[in-house]
Structure 1
Amino acid sequence: MHLHLLLSVLASATAVLAHKHHSRDLVLSDNDTSPLVKRDVQAGGACGTQANNAVCAAGLCCSDTGVCGTGGGFCTAPACQLSAGPACDGNQTPAGADTSNVPRPLFGSIPYGVDISHCSVNGKVAITFDDGPYLYTAALLDILKNNNVTATFFVVGNNGAKGMINNPATGYPATLRRMIADGHQIGSHTWSHQDLSLITAQQRRDQIVKNEIALNDVLGVIPTYLRPPYTHWTQDGLNDLKSFGYHVLNYDIDTRDWQGDYNVAETTYSTILSQHSPSSSSWISLEHDIYNTTVHMFAQYIIDAARRLNYQLVTVGECLGDPASNWYRNTTTGQPVDMNVLRANVANGGSSNGSGSTGTSTSTLTQASTTSTRSTASKTTTHTLLATALAVNGNTGANTTTTKARTSTAASATASSTSKSGGTRSVVGAGMGVAVVALIFAAFL
């Protein structure tokens, strides 16, 4: 079952566990022209930020540890170093129409290109799921439907060795269409989950546009909401997102489900909600549909706890008072989308731009050169690569981690204030190799 995915994930996990995870906080300037001093490094050679920005030969990837090679341990996004690894997942381009020239009028009342971290309609909780679609997303859609709940999915186009989301062989196109048909909202979480504050201007734009190409290929529209990975950005990044017509979504409850300690996640979520009245508060909560336990246990807890406290569970657009037609952009006119047309069409397995027409062209976006700028200083973590292992474990996080609260009152709650953007999500230590490998096998059997 999913043998090719097992092999890719196992290779990725093995590579991560072979060294102590670290972050590199080198920030790249948009105008940085530092030379890539060595090109065409062969397999096994040093590359990237660890080797004076040396670039691997064509067809090779540069791993997070700075070694040229092929396979999941070298090529898997977001760890693969884009500028030094021509074959990195993040440097692939999906089939579909180039969306870079779609008109981008700024419609509606929700601001563009600024940090939006909380709702504006009291009594609402918008539960949001990042990093999917993945193996468990279809089951999550079943759970949400059984509870008559809508949510928001910030999807990544090609990360964690899962394959491109518009590739029918993955099954993800059907999952994305079902999200629309079931009334959920889809936003972008970029093409390959790169930290937008640490990559070049061209790479940042590729992260935006390539995910649009894939989503348009499946749905016939592109979203107007985007959550930057790690909620990291620069002012230049915000300017780019505004020019592409995106609302930039943050959150004010971080359950930290990615750490695997669901006792902490439950306490964080319920403490913040219970200390505020639905009549005067509303929330955006962050979760991840790449984890088995989040989907099959925690999602139901989130729903039940919110309803017990008299909150209504809605999409991000609804909690901001933004009409559903504004959540997506027609790729012909750039205008809001007729949701009745879109939902009817995707429910029948097609794609539509919301104006009644269907189908997309097969032209592709020209890839940016991977040798024109400095190597991406990848600030990534193991949570994407090891999603399967964490899913069956469900108990690897630190038991003292809590969440970022929106108000001073929430900040004084039992769940103390901590921001996701304050550091990397390192969830596996060097001593966990045997356990993680065993868990990876178990998840696929």
Structure 2
Amino acid sequence: MSNSAVRRRAVALRRTAAVAGAAALALALGGCAMATTAPADARSDALASGRTLSTGGDGERPVDCQKAKCIALTFDAGPGKDTPELLDHLGKEQVPATFFLLGRKHVDRYPKVVKRLFDEGHEVANHTWTHRRLDKLDKGEIREELGRTQDAIEDITGVRPTLMRPPQGRIDDEVTAVSKELGLAQILWSATAKDYSTNDSALIEKRILKQASRDGIILLHDIYDGTVPAVPGIVAELKERGYTFVTVSQLLAPAKAEPGKVYRP
């Protein structure tokens, strides 16, 4: 095959991949063409406007994801029975994570675990009260799903979340409007193991490692039997590859997540 033919084929493959990616994103967004912001773009815009990384209250230097090879580890729909074991490992490895918590039968069932993950420096976020698809609800129902979880988390931690993840990644204009009203940015993802469909820890690990990328957001669930056992291998390999683990908010810094806005790598 000639060099020109190889180049034409490469261009065609890239276009096909772009179309497939756009289709997948449209599906995740409930079939609507909603704008998303990549973490790197959010950081660049914040820096261009003069915002800088702020030192923590204890004098600790923040992670600069403009320079470091950052990745965010996130867990949905917990806490669950295995979350304490997960927290033990994350603490041992000094890996921060973002937990998108589900209200009914999770936040209300494991309040001590919610308090523990918050006290240990993990980011606490909102994943609705009952995991209903928000794009199928009216504004009042969306407000109930998100607002009730906001209240429950604040009652335990003293802090209201600023991030939410919609079930199945499904959003529309009404979800965005209510999220903005409640002070919640919408966070999607770039890597998923589909761990709801398998308890094979080796497969979960393989899927995440294949999809991991700089500025990526990993989606896992700490409620399925195969997931927590997969985390040590994921963490070890990504550290070996030079990744720095951060929370979603740290990934965006010095930008601050804007209510209603959709963030996706």
> Under a length normalisation based on structure 2, what TM-score does the superposition of the two structures give?
0.69
Residue equivalent to 1:311: 243
- Is contact 1:196-1:237 (8 Å) kept? yes
> Which stretch of the first structure deviates more once superposed, 117-126 or 225-234?
117-126
In structure 2, the CA distance between the partners of 1:305 and 1:311, relative to structure 1 (3 Å rule), is same
Residues of 1 paired with 2:217 and 2:137: CA distance?
27
Residues of 2 paired with 1:269 and 1:117: CA distance?
19
In structure 2, the CA distance between the partners of 1:322 and 1:183, relative to structure 1 (3 Å rule), is farther
Identity %: 28
Residues of 1 paired with 2:144 and 2:100: CA distance?
17
Q: Which sections of structure 1, spanning at least 5 residues, go unmatched? A: 1-112, 330-404, 407-445
- Is contact 2:205-2:231 (8 Å) kept? no
- Is contact 2:125-2:164 (8 Å) kept? yes
Residue equivalent to 1:218: 156
Residues of 2 paired with 1:322 and 1:192: CA distance?
33
Residue equivalent to 2:224: 291
Residues of 1 paired with 2:120 and 2:182: CA distance?
27
Residues of 2 paired with 1:229 and 1:301: CA distance?
26
Residues of 2 paired with 1:114 and 1:218: CA distance?
33
Q: How many residues align structurally?
A: 201
- Is contact 1:131-1:154 (8 Å) kept? yes
- Is contact 2:162-2:183 (8 Å) kept? yes
SS of aligned partner of 1:258: coil
- Is contact 1:196-1:228 (8 Å) kept? yes
Runs of 4+ in 1 over 3 A off after TM superposition: 113-120, 261-264
> Under a length normalisation based on structure 1, what TM-score does the superposition of the two structures give?
0.42
RMSD: 2.4
Q: How far is the alpha carbon of 1:216 from its aligned partner?
A: 1.5
In structure 2, the CA distance between the partners of 1:195 and 1:116, relative to structure 1 (3 Å rule), is farther
Q: Residues 51-109 of structure 1: CA distance to partner in whole angstroms, max 9, x if unpaired? A: xxxxxxxxxxxxxxxxxxxxxxxxxxxxxxxxxxxxxxxxxxxxxxxxxxxxxxxxxxx
Which of the numbers 84, 99, 107 marks the counterpart of 1:138?
Answer: 84
Residue equivalent to 2:73: 127
* Structure with greater helix share of residues: 2
Q: Residues 231-271 of structure 1: CA distance to partner in whole angstroms, max 9, x if unpaired? A: 10111211211122111100111121222144443232222
Residue equivalent to 1:233: 171
Residues of 1 paired with 2:101 and 2:240: CA distance?
29
Which residue identity is paired with 1:232? R
Which residue identity is paired with 1:133? P
Residues of 2 paired with 1:322 and 1:124: CA distance?
14
- Is contact 1:127-1:314 (8 Å) kept? yes
Q: Residues 174-211 of structure 1: CA distance to partner in whole angstroms, max 9, x if unpaired? A: 11111121110000001111100111221111011111
Residue equivalent to 1:397: none
Residue equivalent to 1:269: 208
- Is contact 2:78-2:102 (8 Å) kept? yes
Q: How far is the alpha carbon of 1:272 from its aligned partner?
A: 3.1
Residue equivalent to 1:398: none
Residue equivalent to 2:95: 149
Structure with greater contact order relative to length (CA < 8 Å, sep ≥ 6): 2
Q: How far is the alpha carbon of 1:308 from its aligned partner?
A: 0.9
